[in-house]
Amino acid sequence: MKAASPRRSLPFPFIIDELEPLRPTVRSVFGFTHVYLEDKLLFSLRDAATRPGSNGMWLYTTTEHADALAREFPELPRRQIWRSGKKAWIILASRLPDFEEQAFRACELILRGDQRIGRLSRSLGKVENDSDRILRRPLGSVRER
């Protein structure tokens, strides 16, 4: 995480603190704080005054894993499980009474390497792959025309 952005400005900082051993990449975009581990988008955090019903921890997964992952959160209402094509996400809403317990459970699964959480991110992966290609190119391999 960049030093310029103070930790207290992050929504639900206890979640990021819990995952600190993994050293995730944290990026804030369009009112969401996105958390990546390598090329995987694990989840997003949102805590905004506008549309408070959307606040909480959004776990990203695939439709293949959505039901199995949702069973890890038995008190979660079914309307918190969303699907679109091959993508799915589970919203641990901050308005629910057991939000912190659910968020810590999600962190526990992430720390154990649960493959049901996260999806490959095209944007982050593309940036990393492009920079890797540039950095790994041997000196003198670019021909001048």
* Number of neighbouring beta carbons within 10 Å of residue 53: 9
Given a cut of 70, is residue 4 above it in pLDDT? no
Q: What pLDDT was estimated at residue 132?
A: 36
User: What pLDDT is stored for residue 30 in this prediction?
Assistant: 86
**CB count, 10 Å around CB of 28?**
14
Q: Which two tokens stand for residue 26?
A: 């944290």
Q: Is the pLDDT of residue 9 over 90?
A: no
**CA neighbours closer than 13 Å in the CB half-sphere of residue 94:** 19
The mean per-residue pLDDT over the stretch 28-43 comes to 94
CA 2, chain centre distance (Å): 17
Taking 60 as the threshold, does the pLDDT of residue 136 lie above it? no
What pLDDT digit, counting tens, does each position of 85-130 carry?
Answer: 999 999 999 999 999 999 999 999 999 999 999 999 865 544 443 3
